Amino acid sequence: MWNKLSDIQTGKQLTMEEFEKSVGYSPVVKDLMSRDENVNRMVTNQHGSDRKLNSYFSKSLKVSKKRGAAVLKSIKEVATSMTLRGEKEKEQNLFNVDQKNNGNSNNNQWVKVRQTGKSYKELSALHLCQEIQAHEGSIWSIKFSSNARFLASAGEDTMIYVWEVQECEVKPMNEACSSPEDKKKKGKGSSSSKKGNQVPNYVHVPETVFSLSDKPICSFKGHLDDVLDLSWSRSQQLLSSSMDKTVRLWDLDTKSCLKLFAHNDYVTCVHFNPMDDDYFISGSLDTKVRIWNIPKRQVVDWTDINEMVTAVCYTPDGQVFFIFLQISILELYRDT
């Protein structure tokens, strides 16, 4: 609102009361004053709307982060309870096996496969042939290398282990397959031709089978909290994302951490660009998805999803990537 007016010719200043008495409000003056009031009102409303909008997004982000942290906590609690239940069931199964003397208990390890919605089967059966005590606590991620020579595993104990994939010897139908290491351990009286070890008739034994090394060939230590995701490059380097708000790049040859990429919150997922080992994508609890340049250790592009990102994945040609959200939404982006 105007308080004083100045006469252009004389330079004399008049109050609004003096101006009204001497001149009065012309339509032009009234229109100008009305416009000024409207502008001031619009600016005030705009500031209020901006504050409300910023407050909304701030609350939405806080809710999303709390919800995301609660989801991770719930997953850990469920995993812990399932682990305890599995250990009890395993103890019970071992007790039942000890009670059986007919030698047929191993038959329970074969699971026959039935097709659904297909006219053919891609495999005939499943068989538990190896079990390794790999980590302390829950395992959150396991990933094969691109050449299928290695398997990396990581989880709640903050450790990353790399296992070698070994080719097993395929024995006759009435014998179980074993790795070269197992064969050396067996003595002359260790024949597996018992009835309990016979392969069921419905099983088609493949020409080649594989197992993992009994012990990891490499271990990486450096993360301060749970490791949530892993990704291999074509050059056999390994990325790991963690709840300690970092992504680390590991080298299998030197068995060391080459680079560290800091984030603002838990890094829930990570994936190498399949066509260029110099880039990777990461998703975080701060609702942002980032594309990183590894040599420069810089973010070259990013987007804010405003929801917890649970998984990211490139297409094989590296041109498109998918973003999966905690609210069950899949988004597709093209890398340009």
Return the higher-pLDDT residue of 221 and 3: 221
Alpha-carbon torsion, ordered 197, 202, 207, 212, to 10 deg: -50
State the pLDDT at residue 238: 97
Model confidence, pTM: 0.65
State the pLDDT at residue 302: 92
| pLDDT band, very low/low/confident/very high, at 260 (cuts 50, 70, 90) | very high
Task: Say which residues have a Cβ less than 8 Å from residue 114's Cβ, sequence separation at least 6.
Answer: 121
Look over the chain and give the mean of its residue pLDDT values, rounded to a whole number: 76
| pLDDT band, very low/low/confident/very high, at 306 (cuts 50, 70, 90) | confident
**Listed range (76-85, 138-147, 191-200, 280-289) with the worst mean pLDDT:** 191-200
DSSP-assigned letters across all residues of 151-195: EEEEETTS-EEEEEEEEEBPPPTTS--B-HHHHHH--TT----SG
Unique residue bearing structure tokens 């002359």: 188
Percent of the chain whose pLDDT exceeds 70: 58
**Do 75 and 228 touch, CB atoms closer than 8 A?**
no
State the pLDDT at residue 47: 59
Mean pLDDT in residue range 89-96 = 55
Cα–Cα dist 306/285, whole Å: 10
Identify the H or E element spanning 89.
helix 27-99
Mean pLDDT in residue range 205-217 = 86
Residue 190, pLDDT above cutoff 50: no
CA atoms within 13 A on the CB side of 80: 8
Mean pLDDT in residue range 61-83 = 61
Mean pLDDT in residue range 252-259 = 94
State the pLDDT at residue 115: 82
pLDDT tens, residue by residue, 6-52: 665 566 776 766 666 555 555 555 555 666 666 566 656 655 555 65
Amino acid of residue 207: E
| pLDDT band, very low/low/confident/very high, at 173 (cuts 50, 70, 90) | very low
Cα–Cα dist 328/167, whole Å: 39
State the pLDDT at residue 237: 96
State the pLDDT at residue 85: 62
Mean pLDDT in residue range 224-247 = 95
Mean pLDDT in residue range 221-246 = 95
State the pLDDT at residue 114: 82
Mean pLDDT in residue range 192-204 = 64
State the pLDDT at residue 100: 45
Mean pLDDT in residue range 224-240 = 95
